[in-house]
Amino acid sequence: MPAKVLPTDEELMALPKDGYKRELLNGEIVMSPAGSEHGRLIMRFATHFNAYVYRHELGEVFDGQTGFRMKSRDLLIPDISFVAKARLEGLHQAPEGFFEGSPDLVIEFRSPSDTPKRFQEKLLQYFENNTVLAWGMNSSRRTVSVHRGPDKVRLLGEDDELTGEDVVPGFTIPVSKIFQGF
């Protein structure tokens, strides 16, 4: 069987800008449509998280348009990602194209089209590419799964508080606040 030819960075960048998030997972382009509630929760959380990171000069926060190139050559796009200041030293700006490797912190808001298998496949790649911490936000269950590795998970409920641990020191937010309505 001939080797699969992966799309180039230029081909991936030229994909339609039609509101669908496209990732390259296991060599296949995967589209992830999401509804308005999904987008609202991401923006509310990102606003709070971003303000904290910049106020404390901890690094950079990236939105769900930023691609991270894995060792496998797959391209993953977390809903929100954080790269620590130490990893950015020597850079005057972010790369024009995709980041090589994964962010220090991955934040994924699970959408209805996400399967547990796909989420686990992505977690495995993130941690193989040096992610330190990942948060899986599940709005239908109102829980956050905190991952320190693909198989190291702790589940937080609405009565718990999410912390940045040693990756985003001092950051805290009640889980209930993450999923607040209007």
Give, for all 182 residues of the chain, the pLDDT tens digit: 555 666 666 666 666 665 566 655 666 766 665 667 878 899 999 999 999 999 999 999 999 888 898 898 888 999 999 999 998 876 655 666 778 889 999 999 987 667 888 889 999 999 999 999 999 999 999 999 999 998 899 999 999 999 999 999 999 999 999 998 76
pLDDT confidence of residue 23: 58
pLDDT confidence of residue 98: 76
The C-alpha angle 89, 92, 172, rounded to 5 degrees, equals 55
SS3 for 38-84 is: HHHHHHHHHHHHHHHHHHCCCEEEECCCCCEECCCCCEECCCEEEEE
pLDDT confidence of residue 109: 93
Strands 21-25 and 99-100: unpaired
Token output for 158: 């609405």
Strands 99-100 and 68-69: parallel
CB 167 within 8 A of CB 84: yes
pLDDT confidence of residue 181: 78
> Which helix (H) or strand (E) covers residue 177, if one does?
helix 175-178
Query: Which domains are assigned to the chain?
Result: 9-178 (3.90.1570.10)
